[in-house]
């Protein structure tokens, strides 16, 4: 399984902060994942260009960390064995911050789908009802917040459930958009 370690999350965050990028690791990975769903292996260059465009200072020494993230993300989605994982803070981080990061991840994913599809013609991303429903759900998740009325255990269980839903949903979107990536009209609706 291609689980990202807390060290990888911190390394990506450090690189993004070092170059002055506006996104943090969770949102950047969400954006990348959305772009990969549309462009596959061709997502890395425009994703990196977008990060570097918004960055205050680009450093070529920072690129390998981001390139590794892109390669690992693509590989886990292509394998189709549900090994895809989200780049999120460690479980030791406060639940509120992890929930906020998951929200940012979903926001990034929807942004990535949008910017990746912006230049494509032909079939609409939302021809698939599954993709439509997932994007609607992700939109709701972006408004998620930690509730003081939940016990710690209930909050953790809810967080893990939503995180797993997002993880599996991204794999489903990747599979649903196969015909867009390959330029074939599959007739899937």
Q: What is the pLDDT of residue 116?
A: 87
pLDDT at 171 over 90: yes
Give the chain's domain count.
Answer: 1
Q: State the average pLDDT over residues 180-188.
A: 63
pLDDT at 168 over 90: yes
Of the candidates 8, 150, 16, 144, the residue with the CA atom closest to the CA atom of residue 69: 8
Q: Which residue has the higher pLDDT, 56 or 65?
A: 65
The confidence band for 163, taking pLDDT boundaries of 50, 70 and 90, is very high
Asked if the structure places residue 143 within a domain, the reply is yes
The confidence band for 54, taking pLDDT boundaries of 50, 70 and 90, is confident
CATH of the domain at 120: 1.20.120.740
Asked if the structure places residue 134 within a domain, the reply is yes
Torsion of CA 94, 98, 101, 103, to 10 degrees: -120
Asked if the structure places residue 78 within a domain, the reply is yes
Asked if the structure places residue 189 within a domain, the reply is no
Of the candidates 126, 130, 124, the residue with the CA atom closest to the CA atom of residue 170: 130
The domain in which residue 39 lies consists of 6-182
Asked if the structure places residue 19 within a domain, the reply is yes
Q: State the average pLDDT over residues 144-156.
A: 77
Asked if the structure places residue 154 within a domain, the reply is yes
Q: What is the pLDDT of residue 187?
A: 42
The mean pLDDT value of the chain amounts to 86
The confidence band for 136, taking pLDDT boundaries of 50, 70 and 90, is very high
The pair of structure tokens assigned to 48 is 């990196």
Report residue 140: phi and psi, to 5°: -65, -40
Asked if the structure places residue 91 within a domain, the reply is yes
Q: Which residue has the higher pLDDT, 30 or 2?
A: 30
Asked if the structure places residue 70 within a domain, the reply is yes
CA angle centred on 38, ends 131 and 179, rounded to 5°: 75
């Amino acid at each position: 399984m291609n689980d990202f370690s807390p060290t990888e999350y911190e390394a990506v965050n450090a690189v993004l902060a070092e170059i002055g990028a506006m996104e943090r690791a969770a949102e950047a990975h969400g954006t990348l994942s959305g772009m990969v769903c549309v462009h596959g292996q061709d997502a890395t260059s425009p994703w990196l260009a977008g990060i570097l465009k918004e960055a205050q200072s680009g450093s070529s020494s920072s690129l390998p960390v981001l390139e590794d993230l892109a390669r690992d993300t693509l590989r886990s989605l292509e394998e189709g064995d549900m090994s895809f994982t989200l780049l999120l803070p460690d479980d030791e981080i406060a639940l509120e911050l992890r929930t906020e990061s998951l929200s940012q991840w979903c926001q990034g994913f929807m942004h990535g789908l949008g910017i990746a599809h912006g230049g494509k013609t032909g079939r609409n991303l939302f021809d698939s009802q599954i993709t439509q429903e997932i994007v609607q759900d992700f939109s709701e998740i972006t408004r998620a917040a930690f509730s003081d009325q939940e016990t710690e255990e209930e909050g953790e269980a809810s967080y893990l459930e939503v995180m797993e839903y997002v993880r599996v949903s991204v794999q489903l979107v990747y599979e649903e958009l196969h015909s867009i990536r390959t330029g074939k009209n599959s007739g899937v609706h």
